[in-house]
């Protein structure tokens, strides 16, 4: 049976890594008798060379206005403009680490685990604490299927049928992947975690953007996991536990002095943002929404 795989890339000013990502996609090893691929780029207002690069690679480009952007809406737009039976999602600032990334990622979907996600690791510019987060959330061992509904659309694949049945929530400020996966799992589906399908995920964010990322994700998780509430005590407890673990790891790797202040800052931004997002009780304004998503500031 022949499969058309639609690779959907969300972009906003991704000129720094987009060409490397597209080259890595083109270099993937696929059985051409079984698989065909297309690339759909969903851009939300790039003003750098992102669109020029996309045109050079002859991609299908669709646009979403800044005022109507959400992660879920942009993915739904990409999926509705894709022709494949399998949709693969990868962020414009992610790069597959080898030429088996795509095959490994879509294999579980073909075998009936219709939502899969792969491993994420940092690169040379990744903050030490963020790499610790990657190591915790994306272990070296695959779980096919896994227990639960955690997943992440920076590196994932889903069948067209599952997407059509559930769609991505367009009204939440992030975690649209977990929102859909929870519905899928509650209906008896299984999510697969594929460690062998690995990408570099390169954030390079400033401190305020890191805080906002955790804030909007925690805000989204209110609707997905309403039973999870963060008190001040919880937040301080988790902050100090993570801080101590990071500092011990930095000592182990003999990089303590270089990383002490970045570790403290990262964990402070992570847990202060998470606390604020988890405890928001009012609907976010249009201006606050734009603050969450635009611009995605980098150092």
pLDDT tens string 182-227: 999 999 999 999 999 999 999 989 999 999 999 999 999 999 999 9
pLDDT at 295 over 70: no
Rounded-to-integer distance, Cα 183 and Cα 147, Å: 14
Res. 298: pLDDT tops 50 = no
* Encoded tokens for 13: 């000013």
User: How far apart, in Å, are the Cα atoms of 287 and each of 200, 224, 238, 292, 293?
Assistant: 32, 23, 30, 9, 10
Global pTM reads 0.92
pLDDT at 194: 98
pLDDT of residue 68: 87
Mean pLDDT of all residues in the chain? Answer: 93
Overall average pLDDT of the 260-266 stretch: 98
The pLDDT of residue 32: 80
Sheet hosting strand 60-63, strand order edge to edge: 60-63, 35-43, 3-11, 86-91, 155-159, 115-121, 191-201, 94-96
| Residue entry with tokens 């001040």 | 232
- Average pLDDT of 119-143? 96
Q: Which of 29-38, 46-55, 289-298 has the highest mean pLDDT?
A: 46-55
**pLDDT (mean) for 285-293:** 51
CA–CA separation, 124 and 188 (whole Å): 40
Share of the chain above pLDDT 90, in %: 88
Please, are residues 106 and 24 in contact by the beta-carbon 8 Å criterion?
A: no
- What does the block give as tokens for 99? 């030429």
Among candidate residues 159, 176, 156, 158, the one with its CA nearest the CA of residue 168: 176
Predicted pLDDT of residue 263: 98
Least confident of 20-24, 191-195, 290-294: 290-294
Contacts of 188 (CB under 8 A, 6+ apart): none
- Looking at residues 146-160, what average pLDDT do you find? 97
Instruction: Out of 72-76, 132-136, 176-180, 291-295, pick the least confident.
Output: 291-295
Reading phi first (left if > 0) and then psi (alpha if -120 to 50, else beta), residue 126 is in beta
Give first-to-last CA distance, the chain, whole Å: 46
């Amino acid at each position: 049976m022949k499969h058309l795989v639609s690779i959907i890339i969300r972009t906003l000013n991704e000129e720094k890594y987009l060409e490397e990502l597209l080259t890595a996609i083109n270099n993937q090893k696929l059985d051409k008798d079984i698989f065909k691929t297309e690339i759909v780029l969903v851009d939300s207002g790039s003003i750098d060379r992102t669109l020029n690069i996309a045109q050079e690679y002859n991609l299908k480009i669709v646009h979403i206005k800044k005022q109507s952007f959400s992660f879920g809406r942009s993915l739904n737009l990409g999926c509705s403009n894709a022709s494949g039976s399998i949709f693969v999602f990868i962020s414009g600032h992610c790069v597959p680490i080898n030429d088996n990334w795509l095959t490994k990622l879509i294999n579980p979907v073909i075998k009936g685990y219709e939502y899969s996600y792969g491993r994420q690791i940092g690169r040379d510019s990744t903050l030490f604490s963020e790499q610790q987060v990657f190591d915790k959330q994306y272990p070296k061992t695959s779980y096919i299927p896994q227990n639960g509904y955690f997943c992440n659309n920076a590196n994932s694949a889903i069948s067209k049928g599952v997407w059509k049945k559930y769609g991505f929530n367009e009204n939440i400020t992030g975690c649209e992947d977990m929102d859909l996966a929870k519905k899928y799992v509650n209906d008896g589906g299984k999510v697969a975690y594929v460690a062998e399908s690995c990408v570099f995920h390169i954030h390079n964010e400033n401190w305020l953007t890191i805080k906002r990322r955790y804030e909007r994700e925690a805000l989204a998780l209110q609707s997905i996991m309403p039973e999870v509430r963060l008190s001040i005590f919880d937040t301080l407890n988790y902050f100090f536990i993570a801080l101590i673990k990071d500092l011990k790891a930095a000592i182990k790797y003999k990089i303590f002095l270089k990383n002490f202040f970045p570790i403290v800052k990262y964990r402070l931004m992570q847990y202060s943002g998470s606390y604020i997002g988890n405890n928001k009780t009012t609907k976010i304004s249009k201006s606050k929404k734009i603050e969450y998503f635009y611009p995605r500031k980098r150092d």
